[in-house]
Chain A
Amino acid sequence: MGAEHLSIDIEDRDPSTVLIHLRGEADGAYAEHLHESLFPVLDRDPMRVVLNLADLEFINSLGLGALIHFHNELASRGATLALAAATEAVLEVLQKMRLHELFTMFDDADSALSG
């Protein structure tokens, strides 16, 4: 299991769309840092946020909680959250918790951005 922890890159794709690329592992205390990194994005007033999970190797329940909280806050503002390119292992975690039914899921970031 890799020792790399979590890095987060945030990109404004257009005035209403934010693309967030998560890399590494949302484990241990880093999962709570995910929460601290996502919420400032709300200040940009996005209508759509896409999380690119292609390089996210691990997520625990604290990380899931951060995603759910972020989703709930976006939804309360009429905005959407899409998850793209989840790895097999992370997708399995989402599916076991039925969260693939809560989030809008895409196979890749391009599809999520154009969808």
Chain B
Amino acid sequence: MPDSTDSKLVLESRLEEVNRAEAAVLDTLEACGFDAADRFAIKLALEEALANAIKHGNDSDETKSVTVEWTAAPGEVRIIVTDEGPGFTPDDVPDPTLDENLTKPSGRGVMLMRAYMDEVSFNDAGNKVTLIKRPSNAAAGRD
């Protein structure tokens, strides 16, 4: 059975906290077979999830926190980001790649998560997102 690491961080609702969380997550991926492109993808999806949780979920209210939990093992990293907000409906987010939305400065976070992760799922309320990524080089994930 592959070794795995279960970790958790609680963040304040400030964007400055994003770098602290991603450093902690990326540090645990060193021995899990993710190449540079995979780590870029994980960093990006995690940043999008955290920015959404901080800015939209918690409305940047520093009295509210964002929880990041992750499990890293050879062959898969699973990251769960939870905020204290009321949630949202991901399917209601307009497609930012439509012509009429290209010049809008915001609205790309959910699509970026889905573009770069193997699996993205939200709880019913929409205030918890689970991101799953497997190594692009499948051989790296084998024992």
Which residues in A have some Cβ–Cβ distance to B below 8 Å?
A: 1, 3, 5, 27-29, 32, 58, 60-62, 64-66, 68-69, 71-72, 89, 93, 96-99, 101-102
**Listed A/B pairs (29) with beta-carbon separation below 8 Å:** A1-B26, A1-B39, A27-B22, A28-B15, A28-B16, A28-B22, A28-B47, A29-B15, A29-B19, A58-B43, A60-B44, A60-B112, A61-B106, A61-B109, A61-B112, A62-B15, A64-B105, A64-B108, A68-B102, A68-B103, A72-B105, A89-B37, A93-B44, A93-B112, A96-B115, A97-B108, A98-B102, A102-B102, A102-B103
Which residues in B have some Cβ–Cβ distance to A below 8 Å?
A: 14-16, 18-19, 22-23, 26, 36-37, 39-40, 43-44, 47-48, 51, 96-97, 102-106, 108-109, 111-112, 115
In-complex Cβ contact of B16 among A29, A68, A98 (8 A): A29
A62 to B111: give the CA distance in the assembly, Å: 13
Q: Which residue of the partner chain A has the closest CB to B47?
A: A60
Instruction: Please indicate the chain A residues that have their CB under 8 angstroms from the CB of B43 in the complex.
Output: 1, 27, 58
